[in-house]
Amino acid sequence: MILLGIPQPVQRFFAPVLRGLPRPTRHALPVMVLALLLAPHRRCLKTLAGVVLGCREHASTISRRLRNAAWHTRDWFVCLYDQCLDDIHDYERRRAQQQHRAKRPWMAVIDTTYHSTHAEQMENLIPMSRRRRPGGREARQHAFVMGLLITECGMRIPLPRKSYYTEAYCQHHGRRHRTQVQLAAEMLRDIRLPDDVELTVVFDSAFDADVVHRICRQRGYRAVFPLDPNRTLSAGPEVEADGLRGQKVVHWTRSWSREEFTQLELQYANEDHVFLRRRHCDNLRLQKTYRRYAIAARRATVSRLGACLVVASYKENPRVGLEAGQSADWWDYHQAPVVYRKHGRPVPQRWHGKVLACTDATATARQVVEWYEIRWQIEIFFRELKSRMQFGCYVLQKFEAVERYLDLLLMGFLLLEQERLREMSAAGAPRARGGEPWVQARTTDRLRSLESLCQEWNVTVLERRVRTERGRQCLLRDLRAAPPCHVA
């Protein structure tokens, strides 16, 4: 694809960042982000350098920009992130005033994504365990702690990334080493929220740590996460099972009776958080979205966590076939022994059990299950970032260049979400259960919309130039000076 300049909506999106930058950077930043979004599936430096007509550079220029210390891409992303949050606040406040609601429910999902490589010269690589593949080729990986802020209207805003630095990398570059849990706590601490937003934080058991829970208590966040099998109960007035101090929570849930469990059936028509999911319009059917659970809940005081709601849940996976001797009843899985340490890959089963904890003891078991289901949205975000936006195709030796490359991709993701918000504002309030394209569209659909916007811009530029003889001569000169090329 060839672009005849930068479309005006893209220029308006980058305007707050470009005001204080030098002229070469002001000229190059929007071009770089658009080139990353519109580049073909075989991404290389030459295709990035030749997407925008009139802004074509040598292929090595792209690599130099990624290594340029004057490109403070994370600061630029934070500026655009704040701008997006302000626009979303204005849009949702108008809707909340019309519906006379005091609080707006938002969710934040935290997780770590990895990029594996067999290269040996890249910086800040983490060696992978060869326990699962003893005879396989040794691989290394980069780690990034990422967060996804999901608003009431379904906007997905990536939080500013936190890069994990190894101890050797920190010693070589004079940085302070921090664990992934500490990075997640800093990310939650830096979230800027208005007073009328109630935030629920969802993460997996890897971030079930005191430093994360401390930040959630200080900021007033509700936390939902799976309990580690080694978590124990503590003495307190809210412990329903007397004399069980020190007993492991997951083992304690196995003693619950069958009468305490209830069947929960969720689907597109009755779930509470339909706008927080990104489903394709073809999947908005009851058969596609049907899930069945067996759940039970008790209030308890967990050691080093305090009073919370403990939910034992079993989710059915009807696609898993039953072998000889296996049962289709969830109760048989409930009576199985607790696995305290996993060895090897998990084996698919008809019913998958998980013990969840919610720091809001007034919540219900159904609310906790639905909140934890939203955690899968960050896995979808990782897949779109690595596959459709091609984050996993980089071959960069300097880790600072990798960080700038990721920041540019996240700026592009913010641009797609900003265009989604513009379409939602123009179209008015969606239906009760959603279904509109601007509500359900994923990253692939948003990239197609961006490409259509760029094509309309090209047509507008061509109409303006062919009106005069001088304009036609300039257009032919530009086309002859920079013929399209997508071959490296």
Q: What is the tens place of the pLDDT at every residue in 391-430? A: 887 878 899 999 999 999 999 999 999 999 998 888 877 7
Look at residue 488 and tell me whether its pLDDT is greater than 60.
no
Look at residue 340 and tell me whether its pLDDT is greater than 60.
yes
- Of residues 263 and 268, more confidence is placed in 263
Most confident of 48-52, 136-140, 335-339, 458-462: 458-462
DSSP notation for 445-462: HHHHHHHHHHHHHHHHHH
Look at residue 54 and tell me whether its pLDDT is greater than 70.
no
Strand pairing partners for 112? Answer: 145
Q: How far is CA 212 from the centre of its chain?
A: 18
Confidence (pLDDT) at 218: 93
Helix (H) or strand (E) holding 472: helix 469-481
Neighbouring CB atoms inside 10 A of 265's CB total 10
Range in 60-69, 160-169, 457-466 with the lowest mean pLDDT:
60-69
- 238 confidence band (pLDDT: 50, 70, 90): very low
DSSP state of 245: T
Confidence (pLDDT) at 135: 61
Residue 314 phi/psi, 5-degree rounding, is: -130, 120
* Span 129-154, average pLDDT: 80
Tokens for 260, please give them.
Answer: 């305490």
Confidence (pLDDT) at 38: 83
Evaluate whether 162 touches 184 at the Cβ level (below 8 Å): yes
Neighbouring CB atoms inside 10 A of 101's CB total 13
Confidence (pLDDT) at 34: 87
Count how many residues are written for the chain: 488
Confidence (pLDDT) at 428: 77
Confidence (pLDDT) at 241: 44
Confidence (pLDDT) at 243: 44
CA-nearest of 277, 199, 265 to 433 is 277
- Nearest 5°: the CA angle 310, 313, 317 is 160
Distance CA 313, CA 34 (A): 44
Confidence (pLDDT) at 245: 59
Range in 252-256, 287-291, 464-468 with the lowest mean pLDDT:
287-291
* Span 464-487, average pLDDT: 76
By CB atoms closer than 10 A (0-12, 13-18, 19+), residue 247 is middle
DSSP state of 233: B
Look at residue 483 and tell me whether its pLDDT is greater than 60.
no
**What three-state secondary structure class fits 362?**
coil
The mean pLDDT of the chain is 85
Evaluate whether 218 touches 201 at the Cβ level (below 8 Å): no
Residue 223 phi/psi, 5-degree rounding, is: -110, 135
* Span 76-84, average pLDDT: 95
Tokens for 335, please give them.
Answer: 């009576």
- 100 confidence band (pLDDT: 50, 70, 90): low
Evaluate whether 308 touches 357 at the Cβ level (below 8 Å): yes
- Residues in contact with 467: Cβ distance below 8 Å, sequence separation at least 6, in sequence order: none
pTM, entire model: 0.90
**Alpha-helical runs (H) found in 267-398:** 286-289, 330-334, 365-373, 376-383
- 56 confidence band (pLDDT: 50, 70, 90): low
Range in 119-128, 216-225, 282-291, 444-453 with the lowest mean pLDDT:
282-291
% pLDDT > 90, the chain: 42
Distance CA 313, CA 318 (A): 16
Strand pairing partners for 358? Answer: 224, 309
Evaluate whether 451 touches 478 at the Cβ level (below 8 Å): no
- 273 confidence band (pLDDT: 50, 70, 90): confident
Helix (H) or strand (E) holding 202: strand 197-202
Distance CA 16, CA 7 (A): 16
Strand pairing partners for 300? Answer: 308
